């Protein structure tokens, strides 16, 4: 059960492995899509996160699309919190004005028992997702919802790696393209503090 095949497993951490399984069981039973892939156990943002109290947090996608019937606006990102036995504590839709579609997301547990969610939010389904972070408390109340500039197209930052830091801020590294064909790429760095304020939005001019 605790193996590289169980996404979120950390090679000996059975609590994490059981949390992933409980999360997947709930998602499968309630039609929430998720990426069924192993994750880096060292990452602070993961798809299935276990709190110190044993609760499980995960982000899934609720979709009314099928392989043969796709329409814009039929998806919703959903954050779920389960108790240690897999019973639902609460679930929150993370939709927001200005976005047409949603993909998967990842979550990091904060020191106060809440979480920060990175959710793939699309202004246009043919572009990259906007860099967006949402912080919630332990009861599921949204404390802040922050998005970086751009609409997923040219000169919009793209987040690749998200890290929750000890002070509650989130560090992001990613990419930034100058042209629509994505031929000229730059390294991009961003940071949001614990209060949800953007304190870094930096493009490396050297590439």
Q: Write out the H or E segment, with its range, that includes residue 175.
A: strand 170-177
Q: Is 55 a domain residue?
A: yes
pLDDT tens-digit readout, 16-65: 888 999 999 999 999 999 987 777 767 899 999 999 999 999 999 998 88
Which pLDDT value is given to residue 48? 94
Q: Is 186 a domain residue?
A: no
Tally of structural domains, the chain: 1
Structural domain boundaries enclosing 118 = 14-148
Q: Is 137 a domain residue?
A: yes
Do residues 199 and 191 make contact, with C-beta atoms less than 8 angstroms apart?
Answer: yes
Query: How many Cβ atoms are within 10 Å of 121's Cβ, its own excluded?
Result: 24
Do residues 142 and 92 make contact, with C-beta atoms less than 8 angstroms apart?
Answer: yes
Q: Write out the H or E segment, with its range, that includes residue 29.
A: helix 14-29
CA distance 194 to 128: 25
CA-based nearest residue to 22, from 81, 63, 106: 81
Q: Is 40 a domain residue?
A: yes
CA distance 146 to 144: 6
Do residues 97 and 106 make contact, with C-beta atoms less than 8 angstroms apart?
Answer: no
The three-class DSSP label of residue 107 is strand
Query: How many Cβ atoms are within 10 Å of 105's Cβ, its own excluded?
Result: 26
Token pair of 75, please? 């998806």
Which pLDDT value is given to residue 41? 67
Q: Is 33 a domain residue?
A: yes
Which pLDDT value is given to residue 6? 54
The model carries a pTM of: 0.89
Residue-by-residue pLDDT tens, the chain, 207 positions: 444 445 544 455 788 888 999 999 999 999 999 987 777 767 899 999 999 999 999 999 998 887 777 788 789 999 999 999 999 999 999 999 999 999 989 999 999 999 999 999 999 988 999 999 999 999 999 999 999 999 999 999 999 999 999 999 999 999 999 998 999 999 999 999 999 999 999 999 887
CA distance 190 to 149: 11
Q: Which residues contact 80 (CB under 8 A, 6 or more apart)?
A: 23, 26, 27, 32, 56, 57, 58, 59, 60, 88, 90, 91
């Amino acid at each position: 059960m605790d193996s590289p095949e169980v996404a979120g497993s950390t090679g000996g951490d059975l609590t994490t492995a059981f949390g992933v399984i409980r999360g997947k069981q709930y998602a499968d039973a309630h039609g929430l899509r998720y990426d069924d892939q192993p994750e880096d156990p060292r990452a602070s943002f993961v798809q299935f996160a276990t709190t110190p109290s044993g609760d499980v947090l995960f982000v899934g996608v609720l979709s009314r699309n099928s392989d043969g019937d796709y329409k814009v606006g039929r998806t919703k990102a959903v954050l779920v919190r389960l108790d240690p036995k897999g019973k639902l504590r609460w679930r929150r839709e993370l939709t927001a004005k200005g976005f047409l579609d949603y993909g998967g997301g990842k979550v990091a547990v904060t020191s106060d028992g809440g979480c920060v969610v990175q959710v793939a939010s699309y202004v246009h389904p043919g572009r990259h997702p906007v860099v967006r972070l949402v912080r919630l408390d332990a009861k599921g109340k949204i404390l802040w919802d922050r998005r970086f500039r751009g609409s997923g197209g040219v000169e919009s930052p793209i987040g690749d790696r998200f890290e929750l830091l000890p002070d509650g801020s989130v560090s992001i590294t990613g990419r930034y393209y100058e042209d629509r064909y994505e031929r000229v790429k730059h390294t991009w760095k961003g940071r949001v503090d614990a209060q949800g304020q953007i304190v870094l939005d930096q493009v490396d001019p050297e590439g």
